[in-house]
Amino acid sequence: MPNDNLVVIAAMARKGGSGKTTLSRALISAAVAAGRRVLLIDTDSTGVLGTWHKRAEAAGLGSPLLRSASVESVGAVDRRIEQVYAADSADFIFIDTAGVGAEWSDGIAVLADHIVTPVMLSTSDPRCRRADRRVVRKAPRPRR
């Protein structure tokens, strides 16, 4: 049975080093601690989030509720979401993105149900996020 309650959350910000991966780690940890099944998709070529998961597993700190996937394109992310939806293999998909405002990231925005963005206490952060919001508002709505 497909999982109609599947929630896809992408961490996005056009500003690099603003806390996307840190926020993703916190949300993923909270979801797993709450007993929810999570698929982590790291779309940043630096692979920081995927490496975090691998290191946790190697240290015996992994969870059967958490799996990770590396992907090579927006199309591959789309296909992975469809697979998880059809097989009901997760409750949440968290997608970490690179902070470059690339076409790649815009494609991810279209696939996500929710976009989360870290905001720190500086005047430049809210200003950058207003620009992010304008981009996201122009994007087509998710298919599901």
Residue 96's Cβ-side half-sphere holds a number of Cα atoms within 13 Å equal to 30
- Our CA angle for 37, 63, 4, nearest 5°, is 5
Q: Which of residues 33-62 bind ligand ATP (CB under 6 A)?
A: 44
Residue 134 burial by CB count (10 A; 0-12/13-18/19+): exposed, middle or buried?
exposed
Among 6, 10, 12, 21, interactor with ligand ATP by CB under 6 A: 21
Is residue 101 a contact point for ligand ATP (CB under 6 A)? no
Among 9, 19, 43, 94, interactor with ligand ATP by CB under 6 A: 19
Distance CA 98, CA 76 (A): 16
Q: Can you spell out the DSSP letters for 12-30?
A: --SSTTSSHHHHHHHHHHH
Residue with smaller CB distance to Mg ion, 91 or 117: 117
Q: Tell me which of ligand ATP, Mg ion, none is bound by residue 22, counting a contact when its beta carbon lies within the kind-specific cut-off of 5 to 8 angstroms.
A: ligand ATP
Q: Residue count at the site for ligand ATP (CB under 6 A)?
A: 10
Cβ at position 85, least distance to Mg ion in Å = 25
Q: Build a one-symbol-per-residue string for 4-33: x at contacts with Mg ion by CB under 5 A, - elsewhere.
A: ----------------xx------------
The residue behind tokens 């603003």 is: 18
Residue with smaller CB distance to Mg ion, 20 or 53: 20
